[in-house]
Structures are given as structure tokens and as C-alpha cells.
Structure 1
Amino acid sequence: MIITVGNTKGGVGKTTLAVNLAIARALDGRDVWLIDGDRQGTASSAIALRGQSGKAPGVACAQYTDGTALRGQVLQQRNKFDDIVIDAGGRDSTALRAALVLSDVLLVPFAPRSYDVWALDDMAALVDEVRSVRDGLRAFAVLNLADPGAGSDNVEAEAAVAEVKQFEYLETPIRRRKAFSNAGGAGLCVLEIMPRDFKAISELKALKEAVFDMQRTSKED
């Protein structure tokens, strides 16, 4: 399965989610390739730290910020991996567009702030473009960096996403927890760090199952 975690809006935590999802799938016994399509290279740096520490399981990682290179490499090597997770975006780029054409699933994290919700319209337009030339792309939106409590900002953001027909809203929010940033910065996911944050673990597992199991069920149907 190929999944892109992306948004044209920066600062929504897409890299943290991409790294956590890639490692979580590797812990499930999957052979995973994480592609860093962002010029900042944060995902690549995180996986490099993981390799330097000798943490297992290993996760293959490469950085392709040019759309042509990303497309060519994925087409050549996709059969070598069970899952490919692409971290792309922060802006509208050739890498993001190439990733969308190749992906089975697009996961768009957004934060509970008005300008983050408005940015979903840009991603919705890209989804429409991709769907005009190919079938099968499923697009999910997930509330990331959500308020720890049941704040009004979270509720309002959920309601706003319901108006964007291109996305399926996942009721698996990821809340603003230090465990996610601490784990990602060390090349780990929240399933691995100590002390264990059971709320963060539960949220990541719920998101992983929603994205990957939903897509598998869809293909079987």
C-alpha cells in the first residue's frame, strides 16, 4: 500500500505522523519504505537517528523532493516493499503531486485552527485533479495537534471538514502530546518510547487501523 501524508499547509504535524505510522507498520512486521518528499528533510533525519542508534526494526528511507525522481523511484521499487509512506507537502510541489498520483491513500492532517481548515480547500482541489486522471485515490482528513480536552475548536474543525466533500473524516484525532514530538525527534514512534504514554499509543493505533485496515477492506470488497 502507498500512503501519502501531506498538506499544502505547513505546521500541521504531517512529518510526525508519517514517521510514527511508518515505524508502527514496521513493528507489525511489514517491510516499509519511508520517502521524504519535503525539502526540510525532517523525516530523513529522524530515520537516520534511528539507524545510528541501531534500533530495530529498521525502516528504509530516501529523500526525493523532485516529482520526476520520486515517481521514477517509486515505480521502480514499489514491489520490494509491503508499504510505502510518503511525507510530502508543506506547500504545493511536484513531489506532492507525483505522490498523489501514485498513492492508494492520502492522509491530510489538519490542526484545529481556522486557517488550517481553510487550507483543506487547496488539498481538495489537488484531489479533484488526481481523480480526473485516475481512479482509486481515497482521501482522509484527520484532526492532528488537537486540544487535549473536548474543546470547541476541535468540534468546529470537525464540522468544517464535513463540508469538504473530497475527504472522508476519520474520527481518530491525534491530540497535542509531547510523546509524539519526543518520539519522532528520536527516530522512534510512541509505541517504543519510555515511559509509555498509553493515551498517545491508543490514538496512534486507532489511526493506523483506520487508515490501513479501511483500505484493505475496501480492496477486498
Structure 2
Amino acid sequence: MIVTIGGIKGGVGKSLISTNLTVMRALGGFKVLLVDGDEQGTSGDWTDHRIGLGLNTPWTTVRLKAAAVRTEVLKLSNNYDDIIIDCGGRDTVSLRAALTVSDVFLVPFQPKSFDIWTASKVADLVADAKILNPKLSAYCFINCGGTRGNDNEIAMQILGKAEGLSLLTTAIASRKAFSNATSEGMGIIEVKKDEKAINEMQALHDAIFGENETPYGHNKTVKMTSKLGHRDNAMA
């Protein structure tokens, strides 16, 4: 399956999601390619940091931009079970190129007005992408959410009305455990110090790749509006 994590608003944790999903898939025995398509290079820098720490890194990371995202991913797609593309928080050539070859477009939103207001522009981007890639499925979810109050629920109600985007009703909270794991060159699943954080990321993983393919045995069930396809029929 080819999954692009992106959007048109920066600072919503796209690289956090990209790197954590990469770790989960790779440690689960899948052959994974992580594509850093963001000019900031966060995912690539994180992989370099992890390698420098001497940690097992059972995936391949490449840095691509602009039209090369499409051409190189097409060349490499048959060599991997999953390709995860981390694109920046802007409407760029790299993002549009990624969407032409992706099965899934995953868009994180913070539960804040400035972020939620971009949903209609993201929907327009999805509509443009589907002209060239009709099989593209686009999903949104709350990332960097609150742990108290009802901000997450209010934001989800608004996102649920956005045309062209299906809402996943799992939310990933803003937790120190995520930043701590990142600084240690790890995914949250490897640290195992915050069960809530692990369950949230596991729920997102399950929503995308299917509960039957989860390698870690967590029993947290995610309620979602749509079930995504499995990797065995997504690369057609």
C-alpha cells in the first residue's frame, strides 16, 4: 500500500505519523520504503539520527522532491510491501506528485480553528488528484489533540462534514511520550512507557492497514467511519 501523509497546514505532526507508521510496519515484518518528500527533511533527518544511535533500522529511506516523487515511487513500488510518503504542510509539486501514485491520503488536523479551516482546500486538492488517480482514498483525523475537554469532538464534528474527506474517529493526543520517543530515534511502540500513546498510534495503524495485520497484539479497537483496504489489493 502507498500512503501519503500530508496536508496544506504545517505543524500538525505529519512526520511524527509517518515515522511511527514506518516503524510499526517494518518491525511487523513488512518491507517498507519511507519517502521524505518534505523540503524540511524531518523524516530523513530522524532516520539518520536513529542510524547514528546504532538502532536497528529495517526499512529504506529516500529523499525525493517534485516530480521525482512520482517517477521514483513507481519504479520502486514492486520492491516493497508498503511505501509511506511524508510530504510537507503546503500544496507543493511533491505532494501533488505523491497523490498521483498513492492508495491513501492521510491528513492530520490539530483541533484548532486555523487548522480546521483548511479542510475545504484539502478537499479541493483531493478532487484535483482524483482526476489522475481515481482510486485515491482520502482520510482525516485529529492529531496533537487535547487530553481534556471537548475540543477534539468539536473539531471532528466539523471535519466530518468536509466533502472529499472521510473522518477516522480515532484521535492522537499531544503527549510528551511521542516527542521523547522521537528524540531517542524510536517509534512510540518501541518505548512502551505510555500505553495510551501506544494504543492511539496502534488504532491509527489498524484503521489504515487492517486489524488483522497488526503485529503487536494490542486489543484497543478503533471506531471509524471507513475501513481501508489491505496491502494485498492496494498496489494494483
Structure 2: 5+ residue stretches without partners: 211-227
CA offsets 1:165-209 (integer angstroms, 9 cap, x no match): 211111111001011122223331001125x11111111111000
Question: Which residue in the other structure is 2:152 paired with?
Answer: 154
Work out whether residues 27 and 58 of structure 2, in 8 Å CA contact, stay in contact via their aligned partners in 1: no
CA offsets 1:68-97 (integer angstroms, 9 cap, x no match): 111111111111111000000211100000
CA shift at 1:154, angstroms?
A: 1.2
Question: Which residue in the other structure is 2:126 paired with?
Answer: 127
Structure 1: 5+ residue stretches without partners: none
CA shift at 1:131, angstroms?
A: 1.3
Superposition misfits of 4+ residues, deviation over 3 angstroms: 217-220
TM-score if structure 2 supplies the norm length? 0.88
Question: Which residue in the other structure is 1:201 paired with?
Answer: 198
Deviates more, 1:41-50 or 1:211-220: 211-220
Question: Which residue in the other structure is 1:191 paired with?
Answer: 189
1:12 and 1:5 mapped to 2: Cα distance?
11
Cα RMSD, aligned residues only: 1.6
From the superposition, tell whether residues 218 and 71 of structure 1 become closer, same or farther in structure 2 (CA, over 3 Å): closer
- Asked whether 1:215 is paired with 2:225, we answer no
2:111 and 2:48 mapped to 1: Cα distance?
31
Query: Any residues of structure 2 matched to 1:1-221 within 5 Å, and which?
Result: 1-66=1-66, 68-149=67-148, 151-193=149-191, 196-213=193-210, 214-216=228-230, 219=233
CA shift at 1:57, angstroms?
A: 4.1
Letter in 1 for 2:46: A
CA offsets 1:106-129 (integer angstroms, 9 cap, x no match): 100000001100112121111001
From the superposition, tell whether residues 177 and 41 of structure 1 become closer, same or farther in structure 2 (CA, over 3 Å): same
Work out whether residues 15 and 86 of structure 2, in 8 Å CA contact, stay in contact via their aligned partners in 1: yes
CA shift at 1:130, angstroms?
A: 1.2
2:232 and 2:134 mapped to 1: Cα distance?
13
2:135 and 2:232 mapped to 1: Cα distance?
10
Letter in 1 for 2:230: R
Work out whether residues 12 and 109 of structure 2, in 8 Å CA contact, stay in contact via their aligned partners in 1: yes
Letter in 1 for 2:59: V
TM-score if structure 1 supplies the norm length? 0.93
CA shift at 1:50, angstroms?
A: 1.4
CA shift at 1:39, angstroms?
A: 0.6
Work out whether residues 6 and 108 of structure 1, in 8 Å CA contact, stay in contact via their aligned partners in 2: yes
Q: Number of residue pairs matched? A: 217
